[in-house]
């Protein structure tokens, strides 16, 4: 039986790779190759960028903002209609729980609905000026061709966070999904044609970073790069963009503190800890991988957490009763195990898990793992693991919690668990993070900006702020004088 073969999506059509080469994509639960993906190169990138540029300068650029919004609304409806199929393909590629992936893909439709409504509501300003005889105003204009590069943990969701505001702003895009999870993006791209978008507005080139990502980032006709992924890749993209003075939106890693005070509802806090680190097998940039717990409740919190997490069911991610699925890629699986070894060598105590589960599926499972006795200076507390591995760190009081919470190179997210409104406001104000939850964890919305402080990134996604990442501001000066003033003196 022949396996499905996916080509690039360029200028509104499936296009074979210029090289004629394909690579395999595997199901992380079964370990089986289930499809072949086009292996792109610089020639494919050139073709995709040329198609995008032609659309921007032609039919797409000629549409009103209202018309763009109508097309985005139609796309949103198609996403919701096709969510089960898209989710099935994405789940097959990255091994996340089917129940979560279906919900995520359906919610993608809401992102496109939101930006459909926002497309014709980006209003410029008439500016009173101190200069007599002139009338000034601003215009917001689309940057042009945008490169979107996304990771394997939530490929469709994280693409929509960039693509929806970019299209609403009037930009066009070339998407490079992770080589581990390309199929769902190619299936999604076909919906743009059904929705009535002009060819070339959205293009997808699949392949590897050095062969596709680098030529895309450095292409002279790409004006902006939107990237979600690891810190090292983000730095390389930022450096390459800087050489050509391109703008970027970077959503990078995190080592987020989940802070539990002694007045918290411990039952709810335990659920928040589980949601923060063990949902999605810990493969989330916003994972609450450091639990900071007040000393007076330290032992009780650990007891409840170990008891709760010890009942979690690992297994087939397509089954509705499965709670923890496999690690999405073999390299990431090995990395998680390596960090567990490092934690033990540093002196941290493993009170739950700490092992692989070769008896499940193709063996790409790691037990939910909890370490106590962690000092915040340890590598296990400072470096992003991106797996189901939790560090528990005690603290004395508010000042100590804030100090430990901020003693990190990252600043993507954090959470505070307390019944005190004063404490909640005091601590959230002082945590250096782009998102801080109070008595909940991992909630996001198309209405609310998301992004990081420090090494967790640059710029914001979601909410009305995000559309301005894809717009340039132009100031227009109109003379109302009947006579030209002295041309040798600046007005």
Positions marked active-site = 251, 285
Closest CA to 452 of 437, 434, 439, 438: 434
Rounded distance between C-alpha atoms, residue 449 and residue 453, angstroms: 13
Sequence-separated (6 or more) residues with CB below 8 Å from residue 150: 158, 159, 162, 175, 176, 177, 178, 185, 227, 228, 229
Q: Say if residues 237 and 228 touch (Cβ distance below 8 Å).
A: no
**Assigned token pair, 226:** 């939107």
Q: CA angle at residue 477 from 488 to 168, to 5 degrees?
A: 145
Contacts 24+ apart (CB under 8 A), 82-88: 82/191, 83/108, 83/109, 85/187, 86/156, 86/184, 86/187, 86/188
C-alpha distance from residue 166 to each of 155, 159, 255, 417, 465 (Å) = 17, 11, 28, 36, 12
**Assigned token pair, 141:** 């204009």
Task: Give the full edge-to-edge strand order of the sheet including 13-15.
Answer: 13-15, 8-10, 202-204, 172-176, 145-149, 222-228, 247-251, 457-458
Cβ count within 10 A of residue 192: 24
3-state SS class at 314: strand
As beta bridge partners, residue 260 has: 293, 417
**Assigned token pair, 7:** 């080509």
Q: Say if residues 202 and 173 touch (Cβ distance below 8 Å).
A: yes
């Amino acid at each position: 039986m022949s396996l499905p073969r996916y080509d690039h999506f360029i200028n509104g059509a499936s296009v074979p790779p210029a090289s004629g080469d394909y690579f395999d994509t595997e199901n992380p639960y079964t370990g089986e190759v289930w499809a072949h993906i086009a292996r792109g190169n610089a020639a494919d990138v050139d073709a995709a960028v040329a198609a995008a540029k032609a659309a921007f300068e032609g039919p797409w650029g000629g549409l009103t903002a209202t018309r763009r919004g109508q097309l985005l609304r139609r796309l949103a409806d198609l996403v919701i209609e096709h969510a089960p199929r898209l989710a099935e393909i994405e789940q097959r590629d990255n091994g996340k729980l089917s129940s979560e992936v279906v919900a995520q893909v359906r919610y993608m439709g809401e992102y496109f609905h939101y930006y459909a409504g926002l497309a014709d509501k980006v209003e410029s300003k008439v500016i009173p000026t101190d200069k007599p005889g002139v009338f000034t105003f601003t215009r917001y204009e689309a940057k042009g061709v945008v490169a979107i590069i996304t990771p394997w943990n939530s490929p469709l969701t994280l693409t929509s966070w960039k693509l929806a505001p970019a299209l609403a702003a009037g930009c066009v895009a070339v998407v490079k999904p992770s080589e581990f999870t390309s199929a769902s993006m190619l299936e999604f791209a076909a919906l743009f044609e059904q929705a009535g978008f002009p060819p070339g507005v959205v293009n997808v080139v699949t392949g590897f970073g050095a062969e596709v990502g680098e030529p895309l980032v450095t292409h002279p006709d790409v004006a902006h790069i939107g990237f979600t992924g690891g810190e090292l890749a983000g730095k390389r993209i930022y450096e390459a963009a800087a050489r050509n003075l391109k703008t970027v939106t970077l959503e990078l890693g995190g080592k987020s503190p989940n802070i539990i005070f002694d007045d918290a509802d411990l039952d709810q806090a335990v659920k928040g800890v589980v949601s923060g680190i063990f949902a999605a097998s810990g493969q989330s940039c916003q994972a609450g991988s450091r639990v900071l717990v007040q000393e007076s409740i330290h032992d009780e919190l650990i007891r409840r957490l170990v008891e709760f997490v010890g009942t979690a069911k690992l297994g087939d991610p397509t089954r509705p009763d499965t709670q923890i699925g496999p690690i999405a890629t073999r390299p990431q699986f090995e990395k998680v195990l390596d960090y567990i070894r490092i934690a033990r060598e540093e002196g941290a105590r493993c009170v739950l898990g700490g092992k692989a589960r070769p008896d499940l599926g193709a063996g790409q499972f790691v037990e939910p793992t909890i370490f106590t006795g962690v000092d915040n200076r340890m590598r296990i507390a400072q470096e992003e693991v991106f797996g189901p591995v939790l560090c528990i760190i005690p603290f004395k009081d508010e000042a100590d919690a804030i100090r430990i919470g901020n003693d990190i190179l990252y600043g993507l997210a954090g959470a505070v668990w307390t019944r005190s409104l004063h404490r909640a406001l005091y601590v959230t104000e002082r945590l250096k993070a782009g998102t801080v939850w109070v008595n909940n964890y991992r909630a996001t919305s198309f209405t609310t900006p998301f992004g990081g402080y420090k090494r967790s990134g640059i710029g914001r996604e979601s909410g009305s702020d995000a559309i301005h990442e894809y717009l340039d501001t132009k100031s227009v000066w109109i003379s109302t004088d009947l006579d030209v003033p002295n041309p040798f003196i600046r007005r």
